[in-house]
Amino acid sequence: MSGDGPLLTEAELRRLARLRIRRRRATPTGEFGDWRTGRVGSGVLFADHRDYVPGDDLRYVDWNVYARLGDLVVKRFEAEENLELLLCVDRSLSMEGPKSRAARRLAAALGYLALANMDRARLAWLPSLTTAPVTAHRGKGRTGALMDELAKAPVGGSTDHARSIGRVLSTCRRRMIAVVLSDFYDPANSVAALAALKSRGMDVVAVHMLDAADVELEPGSSLLAVDRETGQEVKVDVTKAFLESLRTSWHHRADTLERWCVKREVLYQRYDVALGLWDVLADMLGRGIAVGSSG
Amino acid sequence: MSLAALELAAPAALWGLLAAAPNLVFHLYFRRRRRVLVAFAPLLVESAGLVRSEARFKRLREALSLVLRLLALACAVLALGGLRPAEAVEPPRDLFLVIDADITSVAREADGALRLEHARRLAQGFVLGLPTRAGDDLRTEGQVAVVLAGRAPRLVLAPTDELTRALDTLALPLSPETAAADLEAAVATAAGAASRSARAAVVVLSARPIQAPTLPPHVTWQVVGTGSTREDQGFVDLVVERTADASAYRVRATVRNDAAETRSRSVVVHVGTREIAREDAVLEAGVPLDVTFDVPAPPEALWLRVTLEGEDAYPANDAVAARLAPMPLPSVLVVHDGAVRPYTAAVVEALAAEGLIDGSRGGYVAAAKLAQAGAHDVVIVDGVALPAAGLRPGAYVFLAPLVGTLPFDVGRRVQEPLIWRTARGHPLVEGLDFRKSFVVRGQALAGEGLVPLAWAEGLPVIAEGEREGVRFVVLGLDPEGSALPTQLALPRIVRNAVLRLARAPHVALAPFYRVGEVLRPRTAIPGGPRARIAWTGPEADPVLADGGQGVAAGRVDPEGVAWRVPAGAAGRVTVTTGAEGPAPWTGQTAFLDLETGRSIVPARPEGQAPPPGPARTQTGLRWRRGLLALAVLLLLLDLALLGLARRRAAA
């Protein structure tokens, strides 16, 4: 991938420092971390009280309440655990162009947020062109390596998300936040991949990369359209009606995918490459998708 | 029409078809399927399926548009190249122009120009329209010749390919004929020459109708009118007759108005240089009008001229003429048997005294001495027998008793007839009344060629006839044995007979003869049946100027065919006849070319203005216009198709 400079500038990195990765629901990870999981457990952040029942650990009895009210109650705490972020970035040939760079910038931003909070970030390419489907990064010191990998990984291969995700899941036993950045131009396959992630109890976020250029053809032209990935050839006479039909179809596919995600509790985020990275992050922040405020 | 029947005037124009190449390249370049990489082809397949009919229409429209433009270009190129039918393209290699120089070609058309001048301009137009050789504008591809139709065909321009020579010839004014031209002969001449050419056209420039000659297939035929004016009034007939008393000529001229409206003209009669009559005539359109005058017999031969004053388009038929012979008093010789009978002498003396005969040149002679007597106009045989050699050609009046050598037969005697009958209206018995007469002595008449004039008891007793040059009037009545009414009638009969017989020798020929009419003298020409006829133009007559002249020999006698007036002698000549031998005899008359059917009004429409060239140019022009119109139509169709596509797209 030959980008136009670094994926994220210093200014963008400083700006990202105000954000953090947000898990939508608690996920028992089995180890402590810095992030509230939302799950009541053995963390340090007070959640509420409940009545004491025999067997409770006496260390969690709130003696101050007992002294004032004479009731035995135990304090409940939100469980805190380390966040693990799985970034699945589509690098198939259909992503070539602005979509690919935008997807890598967003992945870089999310990865930076994860690593900056001493969490673990895993990066998986869809499809994986190497024997190791996932590379793992932990700690802020790995930020550069993650950025470098995102910037330099070439575009190539065909979309086969189900197979690629299957390989990823074979190496990831833990539940994590899985962010899939793709144009999802293989709907059935992509849905299968998302469903597989979901079935593993992951907090799945589908970032749909949209580039209007994909459906912008020269009006009046006669084209031999060749699919970048499959080489499939299609003879097309670009008429006004055809263009309208093409755009409608394109939007319809996106809507269909979004409806499926909602139905399966997969967070769905559109990313129009015409928009800036921060517009998308702001949208995700506003909708509580993966990104939250650090304050 | 097959493609072989078409031809291009300028094949080089076909290079213009190369202009189709950019159009084709433009079309193929912009309509080619450019190869583009797309992210997800199935999306296009799905959308293309929804608008497949639209795409098909687009491609069909584009293909149709290309075809229309290429066709329009082809039409334009073919128009510039001069595509036309081969038969129109094939130019006559040689052009034979026949110009009618008939006398009617002097008719002045509405624009003031003569028909012959029209013909000349038309001929110039045809010559200028001839294709010239490549690289040599002064030489025509074929040859051009001009034949002038006059009395005989005249080749005024021999076949040549020199354009300047042809134009120089046609730049000079042409001379019209003074008589009818033989157009058919001129056309035949041109057609004969054209038949020997590989490819030719015969073009006749005339206002007269003409039948197309038989031509070989490679020779085309065209007649171009040179005029159509109807503004003409002219003589169509002239009749000159003697009055009953032989003292004057009765002239009847017939005038016809060919114009479409009534015209007023003046008919003027001149004898010699003296005007003797004038009459204003109102001529209705197309209706012949007879104008009659009595002209006193002149003392010497003079021309009678009848003219139509006023202007019209065709002056050649505004004058006619006749040769009026003088009518001198005849001389009478009486033949008797030794002493003239008193009654006969009294009649002759009375005629001389009345001034009807020339008494100084007449006389009396005994039958025995007749051979010594000189020639007289009329010989009265006063009941005597003539010697065998005494009956020479001439005029005779036989009075009863009828004896000796006679040119007729004598029948039985007639006595005291009770019933008389006369040939009513005959000038010889004009004014006679025999109803109360009877005859004591008379002889019936018979014989071949005898014309009875009066009958008694059903038998002819007065008759006239002619045999072997002997013209006679015979009276089978004996005055001395007749009743008084008969005796009173006989002097008038004798007078009439003398005048009737005396008239012929002095006017052997009629005042005029029409073309084609047989010239037959009224009396034998002394010297024998062989005669010589000569004619010359009239002597300094302004009306009848410019006559021809010629000599013809032939048998001229009352019995044989004399000589038929030829067309070439029409209208403008006098004639003298003379017998071969020591005793010449002369007479004068005129030939008139009064063809009653002649008219300057042509039977077919007038030709148009001189054409720019042969008909092929017109045909080529029509094809060119048609092809250009088709090209424009195709482009309009293309535009309409484009508009339809835009409307459909907008919808």
Give residue B555's pLDDT. 45
Based on the domain organization, do B340 and B466 belong to the same domain?
A: yes
Q: Are B519 and B563 in contact (CB under 8 A)?
A: yes
Strand B512-514, strand B588-592: pairing? parallel
pLDDT digits (tens, 9 = 90+) for B319-356: 887 878 777 677 899 999 888 888 888 888 988 888 78
Task: Name the amino acid, one letter, at A120.
Answer: R
Q: How near does any CA of chain B get to the CA of A246, in Å?
A: 5
Residue B559 has pLDDT above 50, yes or no: no
Based on the domain organization, do B76 and B189 belong to the same domain?
A: no
Of B32, B44, B649, the CB nearest to A234: B44
Based on the domain organization, do B308 and B339 belong to the same domain?
A: no
Residue A230 lies in a domain: no
Residue B585 lies in a domain: yes
Chain A residues inside the 8 Å CB shell of B647? none
Residue B119 has pLDDT above 80, yes or no: yes
Of A40-49, A164-173, B474-483, B593-602, highest mean pLDDT: A164-173
Question: In whole numbers, what is the pLDDT of chain B averaged over residues?
Answer: 78
Q: How many domains does chain B have?
A: 5
Confidence of residue B244 (pLDDT cuts 50, 70, 90): low
pLDDT digits (tens, 9 = 90+) for B523-543: 555 444 455 555 554 443 433
More confident residue, B612 or B598: B598
Q: Are B370 and B335 in contact (CB under 8 A)?
A: yes
Based on the domain organization, do A15 and A142 belong to the same domain?
A: yes
Residue B186 lies in a domain: yes
Based on the domain organization, do A60 and A135 belong to the same domain?
A: no
Q: Which residues contact B383 (CB under 8 A, 6 or more apart)?
A: B337, B341, B399, B400, B401, B402, B403, B478
- Most distant CA atoms of chain A, gap in Å: 85
Of B39, B47, B59, the CB nearest to A245: B47
Q: How far apart are CA B304 and CA B267, in angstroms?
A: 13
pLDDT digits (tens, 9 = 90+) for B488-522: 777 888 888 887 787 655 556 677 776 666 666 66
Q: Which of B441, B360, B338, B337 is nearest to B348 (CA)?
A: B360
Residue B239 has pLDDT above 80, yes or no: yes
Residue A152 lies in a domain: yes
User: What number of CA atoms fall less than 13 Å from residue A168's CA on the CB side?
Assistant: 33
More confident residue, B395 or B246: B395
Q: Which of B79, B103, B178, B92 is nearest to B131 (CA)?
A: B92
pLDDT digits (tens, 9 = 90+) for B45-93: 888 776 666 667 777 888 888 899 899 999 988 888 878 776 554 555 7
Residues A234, B39: C-beta atoms closer than 8 Å: no
Q: Across residues A246-258, what is the average pLDDT?
A: 91
Query: Of B322, B346, B370, which residue is a domain's last?
Result: B322
Residues B36, A250: C-beta atoms closer than 8 Å: no
Q: Across residues B358-375, what is the average pLDDT?
A: 85
More confident residue, B460 or B565: B460
Chain B residues inside the 8 Å CB shell of A241? 51, 54, 649
Q: How many domains does chain A have?
A: 2
Residue A141 has pLDDT above 50, yes or no: yes
Give residue B420's pLDDT. 72
Q: How near does any CA of chain B get to the CA of A271, in Å?
A: 16
- Other Cβ atoms within 10 Å of B404 Cβ, number: 16
Torsion B343-B345-B347-B353 (CA) sign: negative
Residue B33 lies in a domain: yes
- Helix %, strand %, coil % for chain B, to 5? 30, 30, 35
Residues spanned by the domain of B56: 3-87+630-650
Based on the domain organization, do A40 and A186 belong to the same domain?
A: no
Residue B629 in tokens: 């119109």
Confidence of residue B418 (pLDDT cuts 50, 70, 90): low
Q: Which of A251, A280, A248 is nearest to A181 (CA)?
A: A280
3-state secondary structure B442-475: EEEEECCCCEEEEEECCEEEEEEEEECCEEEEEE
Q: Which of A125, A57, A87 is nearest to A207 (CA)?
A: A87
Based on the domain organization, do A40 and A114 belong to the same domain?
A: no
Residues spanned by the domain of A54: 35-81
Residues A223, B40: C-beta atoms closer than 8 Å: no
Residue B149 has pLDDT above 90, yes or no: yes
- CATH number assigned to the domain comprising residue A171: 3.40.50.410
Residue B19 has pLDDT above 50, yes or no: yes
Based on the domain organization, do B311 and B350 belong to the same domain?
A: no
Interface test with B, best of A227, A249, A250 (most B CBs within 10 A): A227
Residue A276 in tokens: 């800036």
Q: Across residues B475-482, what is the average pLDDT?
A: 77
Give residue B505's pLDDT. 52
Q: How far apart are CA B307 and CA B53, in angstroms?
A: 92
- Closest residue, chain B, to A240 (C-alpha): B649
Based on the domain organization, do A92 and A133 belong to the same domain?
A: yes
ipTM of this predicted structure: 0.77
Q: How near does any CA of chain A get to the CA of B29, in Å?
A: 10
Q: Percent of chain B at pLDDT above 90?
A: 15
Residue B565 in tokens: 């007036």
Q: How near does any CA of chain B get to the CA of A164, in Å?
A: 19
Q: How far apart are CA B233 and CA B278, in angstroms?
A: 17
Give residue A82's pLDDT. 62
Residues A241, B42: C-beta atoms closer than 8 Å: no
Q: How far apart are CA B270 and CA B145, in angstroms?
A: 45
Based on the domain organization, do B247 and B282 belong to the same domain?
A: yes
- Other Cβ atoms within 10 Å of B459 Cβ, number: 18
Q: How near does any CA of chain B get to the CA of A185, in Å?
A: 6
Residues B59, A222: C-beta atoms closer than 8 Å: yes
Strands annotated E in B457-587? 459-467, 470-475, 512-514, 518-519, 530-536, 550-555, 563-564, 573-579
Q: How far apart are CA B370 and CA B28, in angstroms?
A: 126
Q: Are B252 and B290 in contact (CB under 8 A)?
A: yes
What angle, 0 to 180 degrees and rounded to 10, lies between the N-to-C axes of helices B20-31 and B52-81?
Answer: 170
Chain A residues inside the 8 Å CB shell of B32? 222
Give residue B133's pLDDT. 77
Residue A253 lies in a domain: no
- Other Cβ atoms within 10 Å of B432 Cβ, number: 22
Q: Which residues contact B572 (CB under 8 A, 6 or more apart)?
A: B178, B179, B537, B538, B544, B545, B546, B547, B548, B591, B593
Of A183, A236, A239, the CB nearest to B39: A183
Based on the domain organization, do B456 and B529 belong to the same domain?
A: no
Three-class DSSP category at A278: helix
Q: Which residues contact A67 (CB under 8 A, 6 or more apart)?
A: none
Residue B409 in tokens: 């037969």
Residue A3 has pLDDT above 60, yes or no: no
Task: Name the amino acid, one letter, at B574.
Answer: T
Q: Across residues B428-455, what is the average pLDDT?
A: 78
- Of B92-96, B313-317, B504-508, B641-645, least confident by mean pLDDT is B504-508
CA distances from A100 to A194, A280, B396, B535 (A): 19, 15, 151, 126
Total residues found in chain A within this entry = 295
Chain A residues inside the 8 Å CB shell of B38? 214, 225-228, 234
Confidence of residue A17 (pLDDT cuts 50, 70, 90): confident
pLDDT digits (tens, 9 = 90+) for A152-171: 888 887 888 888 888 888 88
Based on the domain organization, do A145 and A276 belong to the same domain?
A: yes
More confident residue, B137 or B116: B116
Question: Which residues of B lie inside 8 Å of A (Cβ-Cβ)?
Answer: 31-48, 50-51, 54-55, 58-59, 649
Give residue A104's pLDDT. 93
- Of A257-266, B372-381, B545-554, least confident by mean pLDDT is B545-554
- Helix %, strand %, coil % for chain A, to 5? 40, 25, 35
Query: How many interface pairs between A and B have CB atoms less than 8 angstroms apart?
Result: 97
- CATH number assigned to the domain comprising residue B456: 3.40.50.880
Q: Across residues B146-169, what is the average pLDDT?
A: 91
Q: Across residues B235-256, what is the average pLDDT?
A: 82
Q: How far apart are CA B516 and CA B565, in angstroms?
A: 5
Beta bridge pairs of residue A204: A178
Q: Are A11 and A17 in contact (CB under 8 A)?
A: no
Confidence of residue B411 (pLDDT cuts 50, 70, 90): confident
Of B45, B55, B649, the CB nearest to A237: B55
Question: Which residues of A lie inside 8 Å of B (Cβ-Cβ)?
Answer: 94-96, 99, 183, 185, 211, 214-215, 217, 221-228, 230, 232-237, 239-242, 245-246, 248-250, 253
Q: Which of A273, A270, A274 is nearest to A284 (CA)?
A: A270
Q: How far apart are CA B589 and CA B577, in angstroms?
A: 9
Residues B54, A228: C-beta atoms closer than 8 Å: no
Give residue B18's pLDDT. 87
Give residue B397's pLDDT. 92
Based on the domain organization, do B478 and B582 belong to the same domain?
A: no
Residue B227 has pLDDT above 90, yes or no: no
Give residue B515's pLDDT. 63
Give residue B637's pLDDT. 92
Residues B41, A221: C-beta atoms closer than 8 Å: no
Residue B623 in tokens: 């094809």
Chain A residues inside the 8 Å CB shell of B41? 225-227, 230, 232-234
Based on the domain organization, do A128 and A270 belong to the same domain?
A: yes
Give residue B571's pLDDT. 41
- Closest residue, chain A, to B60 (C-alpha): A237
Backbone angles phi, psi at A78, to 5 degrees: -75, 140
Based on the domain organization, do A96 and A132 belong to the same domain?
A: yes
Residues A232, B42: C-beta atoms closer than 8 Å: yes
